Structure 1
């Protein structure tokens, strides 16, 4: 009997399926993930960790529910003084981790030393599910080319198009398969503080080394609200704050970051506001990664950035390592600039998804609303690959121009 089946047997034995909250959905949850990860029987440990993480979440819910007096109770309620539980009252309260959840924990200082981090792509099967074989190949190629960390389920990895079930399971899968070779940073941020708390608890429970957190978007908040939002998740473990106003429509100003830097868990900032902003932080001892591939060389060698969280390294990880770790290299930076400009001619990850399909390392499957670049741009990419050299790109197939009808667009999955 597998670890996952043992867990289910224990839950059934103790009647947990009939509890009054989300535990009744665990059986469906488990079978969903068996289906999602059908080709990876080794993920039983991850499934066990996920179930324990969700048990903690549901326990928190039951704490809150039972804190209220029961309806129709014979006790004179006028003499009762309701006391909220710590979980309901204190934003920084988190249920303790179990020993197996701590095995992959890393220090904030370890995260601060990472120089090249890839915002890894999530490939899909024709029915819209994760293509784990292609995903594992992509991550292995990052490791082989000296990349030091991966962001799982970020903007590039299309976390915004995943359910939280998919999201946490992909983090767990990455940790289980690659966590001893590369740092796994889970994008568990949300514009909802409640979601960010639960996702981050579950991400650390399945072993991620650090969390990436964006500021609340759409329903924007005040600067004090930003500080309160981030302070609810910082105590859980090493954290990178992500500032990308082009997507959130709200800048995280330096005074907010300087306040958050008082926490020992703040690893640093992924900053997309340019190199002058980066220098403001590095002059004050705050670790920063450039979030812009077109500025990362100068950010690293001229403005004090520790490194880059890169999209381009999905395609040319070896060249990006040389650019960020191998020393100042303006000639290589200039050589890569046409590729970077092509990648971002439309909102990321449209260009990357198109490129990986043309290189034959990912199926040409897009989850809507993303669609491939037009034919003219697809032809341009072939010329870019030839100009830089096919040997510098991942994969071993010839680059090709795909026709419109080669692509599969998935709306419902």
Structure 2
């Protein structure tokens, strides 16, 4: 679908509502700075707080502003299979290029249930499907054998691996076909995932350092591992600070400091604690981002 750094883009709000103009600015900033894909309405996009009608406006805005320059992948996961199918059909009708499908959360389904859920959604779309494994959010891990089973479904083309378990990434790589895409879901593990045969990252940090994240990916893909590692280490502290509170609280604070968006989230998320925000801004200043 893509190789390199795709951005898990935030959803900007103003006065509690979707801020279209800010979203368009963010999209243009991303494309001009080498981002390889826009991942819309994922965890970072606060998808769980956004209505079906708002989703339509957000997806339409992304598709129109992007104008087919890079792939748009829409998060359509839910803990209801019926809702996931509905969101997926909506994304396809509105011009998405692929979908990101998170493990059903809260229900804590069995492996059999996960396979049934993913299969039902995949068969209701012609779009490429990327599975999303983030057990820290969903309380359920997608084990390698489930990923292997799903990789045999024609339009399931990859996985965003955010378990943090590099051994699991390696096992997935051992078991799947060469063309099955593996993306890091953690910004501090891009190089390790590449070393395990991965293809890139779906990145939170790319919201504020898109050019640098893509340059890191390009360096590794070109065989310059030392340069890739140098970039990973240079931005390690920033990445840690971007996850010092629940995502996307810190990255929205950072984008607000950069004057791209209002620092607004939807409850139950609240603005960043002042002490953590000071540390984040200090590091952004060190890196000449503000």
Structure 2 residue matching 1:294: 3-state secondary structure = helix
Cα distance in 2 between the residues matched to 1:303 and 1:231: 26
Cα distance in 1 between the residues matched to 2:288 and 2:131: 35
Give the aligned partner of residue 294 of structure 1. Answer: 188
Q: Which one of 277, 285, 289 corresponds to residue 378 of structure 1?
A: 277
1:186-201 residue pairs with structure 2 within 5 A?
Answer: 186-201=74-89
Cα distance in 1 between the residues matched to 2:53 and 2:20: 15
Q: Does structure 1 conserve the Cα–Cα contact (< 8 Å) formed by 2:115 and 2:150? A: yes
Q: Does 1:234 align with 2:122?
A: yes
1:208-219 residue pairs with structure 2 within 5 A?
Answer: 208-219=96-107
Q: Does 1:129 align with 2:17?
A: yes
Cα distance in 2 between the residues matched to 1:384 and 1:376: 13
Contiguous gaps of at least 5 residues in structure 2 = none
Cα distance in 2 between the residues matched to 1:234 and 1:297: 30
Give the aligned partner of residue 312 of structure 1. Answer: 205
Cα distance in 1 between the residues matched to 2:212 and 2:48: 28
Give the aligned partner of residue 93 of structure 2. Answer: 205
Cα distance in 2 between the residues matched to 1:364 and 1:247: 23
1:306-385 residue pairs with structure 2 within 5 A?
Answer: 306-327=199-220, 328=225, 329-385=228-284
Cα distance in 1 between the residues matched to 2:186 and 2:77: 19
Q: Does structure 1 conserve the Cα–Cα contact (< 8 Å) formed by 2:242 and 2:280? A: no
Cα distance in 2 between the residues matched to 1:298 and 1:228: 31
Cα distance in 1 between the residues matched to 2:109 and 2:192: 32
Q: Does structure 1 conserve the Cα–Cα contact (< 8 Å) formed by 2:11 and 2:23? A: yes
- Which segments of structure 1 move beyond 6 Å, counting only runs of 4 or more? none
Q: Which one of 134, 144, 151 corresponds to residue 261 of structure 1?
A: 151
Q: Which one of 389, 392, 398 corresponds to residue 288 of structure 2?
A: 389
Shift of 1:278: 1.5
1:67-216 residue pairs with structure 2 within 5 A?
Answer: 111=1, 113-125=2-14, 127-216=15-104
Shift of 1:187: 0.7
Q: TM-score w.r.t. structure 2 length? A: 0.92
Structure 2 residue matching 1:155: 3-state secondary structure = coil
Structure 2 residue matching 1:333: 3-state secondary structure = helix
Aligned length: 278
Per-residue deviation, residues 51-95 of structure 1 (Å, max 9, x unmatched):
xxxxxxxxxxxxxxxxxxxxxxxxxxxxxxxxxxxxxxxxxxxxx
- The higher-RCO structure (CA 8 Å, 6+ apart) is 2
Structure 2 residue matching 1:366: 3-state secondary structure = coil
Structure 2 residue matching 1:171: 3-state secondary structure = helix
Give the aligned partner of residue 160 of structure 2. Answer: 270
Give the aligned partner of residue 251 of structure 1. Answer: 141
Shift of 1:381: 1.9
Contiguous gaps of at least 5 residues in structure 1 = 1-110, 391-398, 400-413
Shift of 1:312: 0.2
The structure whose Rg is larger is 1
Q: Does structure 1 conserve the Cα–Cα contact (< 8 Å) formed by 2:9 and 2:44? A: yes
Cα distance in 2 between the residues matched to 1:204 and 1:179: 15
Shift of 1:248: 0.6
Per-residue deviation, residues 163-200 of structure 1 (Å, max 9, x unmatched):
11111321122112214111111111111010011111
Cα distance in 2 between the residues matched to 1:388 and 1:355: 13
Q: Does structure 2 conserve the Cα–Cα contact (< 8 Å) formed by 1:172 and 1:203? A: no
Worse overlay, 337-346 or 269-278:
269-278
Cα distance in 2 between the residues matched to 1:304 and 1:339: 25
Provide the alpha-carbon RMSD of the alignment. 1.3
Structure 2 residue matching 1:295: 3-state secondary structure = helix
